[in-house]
Structure 1
């Protein structure tokens, strides 16, 4: 029996690696001869770097850089086993949690540190860079990443503009003479989980900047600044990013990278599934487990469960996909329509969250054992 375990993390409880280990323990408890393939998954946001490192079995590298408000920090990055793909997680250097000890700075927070991490990845000789977007503290349209890669953003007088969205309101010219020499030689892939455009009522400033401390006046200022930035990018490259679906992710980071570096925006869960080799793993699987903290309507709209179900449904054997979650809120008929055979909660009954959290790993193993036993007893007729 071949069982593939490909879960997301249970935020606030267990990492994807820990969730996979618990499910694996449950499978082997009732099927000790089973072959279990564990692939930690993520949707392209925070935690994706850890998931990929665990699945690839590669070391984590570190680089000294700065956080979203300019303070010195250390950020991690990694390279795939074959040396072709470098991974940059935006939250490592430019994440909101890392600056939560400071008053929020919606106009000044930036992504320059992420650009410096990307430069270190390029120095490693990779052929493509996977940028995991999520948890951003800034709304700078990706300008900071360009600066971190060696570009200069200049005002009408030829002076460098300030970091962050504030600088976008003054930028008049791009100086790319110092851009990292490999920046335009590699393939850039951006893991996104939203489709918001860069500007407008559904844009980055309007929808996400308030979460980063922006007041109504700040939102209007940032939307205008992002529009100015998009106009400049269009003049420089001929690429229009104003309405590009997904360009509003992570404070508008995709705008700069798509226009100047040819970056491709991709759904995060599918991109991670490709990176960890999920399709090959499920090609001869008898049963597939996935999971996340809450299984709801969002889970089947580009999240990990949806990505796993899509890949499994396209495989030759079409193995049943079972979700194990902290809570299950999606009706069974909607789950089946999305390719999910069944979904089970780890909650043993009515229970307070603080009481369930310490038992999550044990309950994951118990539920996985029950599902595996049912599969052994009834085969796929169980689902």
Structure 2
């Protein structure tokens, strides 16, 4: 009996990682009905991380009403993994760019307060570990809103709380953490992010990511200046020098905020997923490993899910076959990294809408053809 380990990421806007696994299984079963199939939905810290890790560990989603990026109430959710002790949060669920209308995107006013509320709710569920994915942010507030939601006081010259948003950090005079949620000291916080940018400077949060969130050149200068002041006050009041830390600029400086107000660790998202799903142990005994993502190109080797899976396959000398909605430039460089073969799933020319809608069918058909060849 052949043992297949299926460890794909989601195909964005088409299928969740679990749905990709299910489509892969359909293709395999058409050729080999009695195959042993181990399904391990994966993620790399970005969109789909909560869904993938909840599915992979038989956990559950917890829906919470939180403060959205613009201060309005939004419905968000996070995951409680199967162990009941680990929460997985995507900051984008509460503070993401996709939940802000394009004509209202303004990183001077958007806040991470809702992300802090998700963390607080996870603490209320008595978790021992919180994994936080930092992709897809609409904010540039250095995680100040998150800190305020967790009890930190960011005070102006009149000893009053400064308003939310990166545009108000110039009013900051003092940080008081005497009322910061004490449970944070007893919880392990892991940041899932592949972003290595510092908080400030030419490669910092404002200069690199600000324009993507609606910042004009003038706004970028203001945000940069404000984050610089914020970093100086953190250094003075909290004795933490976070301005140039690798990853501090992730999610508009939420990385820096977590470094300043919690004792956190930063890891590549795919490494966390591999650990949580115990993929290492599963691949050891596999005959074939299948992975995949919406699009594969030279960027895949910079921490994307298929790359992490391929590295494990290479470690145990297992063939790793990857599927993708489209194949871009530079995939030749992936073959030396543990990929045995990479297949595009599209049957021919089609619109983007058709490609997204027909994703499951295309994955199943491609899998069937690959397995027919393997069995032959």
TM-score range, shorter chain: over 0.9
Corresponding residue number in structure 2 for 1:15: 16
CA distance in 1, matches of 2:260, 2:73: 29
Q: Structure 1 residue 12: deviation in Å?
A: 2.1
Q: Structure 1 residue 102: deviation in Å?
A: 5.5
Corresponding residue number in structure 1 for 2:320: 321
The worse-fitting range, judged by mean Cα deviation, of 230-239 and 115-124 is 230-239
Query: Once the two structures are superposed, what CA deviation does each residue of 1:163-190 show, in whole Å capped at 9, x if it has no partner?
Result: 0102222212112122112012111101
CA distance in 1, matches of 2:213, 2:41: 29
Corresponding residue number in structure 1 for 2:351: 352
Q: Structure 1 residue 26: deviation in Å?
A: 0.8
Check whether the contact 1:254–1:263 (CA below 8 A) recurs between aligned residues: no
1:339 aligns with 2:342: no
CA distance in 1, matches of 2:91, 2:6: 26
Check whether the contact 1:332–1:342 (CA below 8 A) recurs between aligned residues: no
The worse-fitting range, judged by mean Cα deviation, of 76-85 and 248-257 is 76-85
Corresponding residue number in structure 2 for 1:381: none
Corresponding residue number in structure 2 for 1:259: 260
Secondary structure in 2 aligned to 1:159?
A: coil
CA distance in 1, matches of 2:63, 2:182: 21
Secondary structure in 2 aligned to 1:169?
A: helix
Cα root mean square deviation, aligned? 1.5
Corresponding residue number in structure 2 for 1:92: 93
Query: Once the two structures are superposed, what CA deviation does each residue of 1:135-179 show, in whole Å capped at 9, x if it has no partner?
Result: 111101111111111111101221110101022222121121221
Secondary structure in 2 aligned to 1:198?
A: coil
CA distance in 2, matches of 1:256, 1:105: 19
Provide structure 1 residue ranges, at least 5 long, that are not aligned to the other structure: 378-383
Corresponding residue number in structure 1 for 2:282: 281
Report 1:69-148 matches (<5 A).
Answer: 69-100=70-101, 103-148=104-149
CA distance in 1, matches of 2:371, 2:328: 23
Secondary structure in 2 aligned to 1:196?
A: coil
Check whether the contact 1:194–1:246 (CA below 8 A) recurs between aligned residues: yes
Does the C-alpha gap of structure 1 residues 153 and 332 become closer, same or farther in structure 2, counting only changes over 3 Å?
Answer: closer
Q: Structure 1 residue 332: deviation in Å?
A: 5.4
Q: Structure 1 residue 331: deviation in Å?
A: 4.7
CA distance in 1, matches of 2:348, 2:82: 43
CA distance in 2, matches of 1:258, 1:8: 28
Query: Once the two structures are superposed, what CA deviation does each residue of 1:195-237 show, in whole Å capped at 9, x if it has no partner?
Result: 1111111111001111111000100110111111111222233
Q: Structure 1 residue 373: deviation in Å?
A: 2.4
Number of residue pairs matched by the alignment:
375
Corresponding residue number in structure 1 for 2:305: 304
Check whether the contact 2:60–2:82 (CA below 8 A) recurs between aligned residues: no
Check whether the contact 2:112–2:141 (CA below 8 A) recurs between aligned residues: yes
Q: TM-score, normalised by structure 1?
A: 0.94
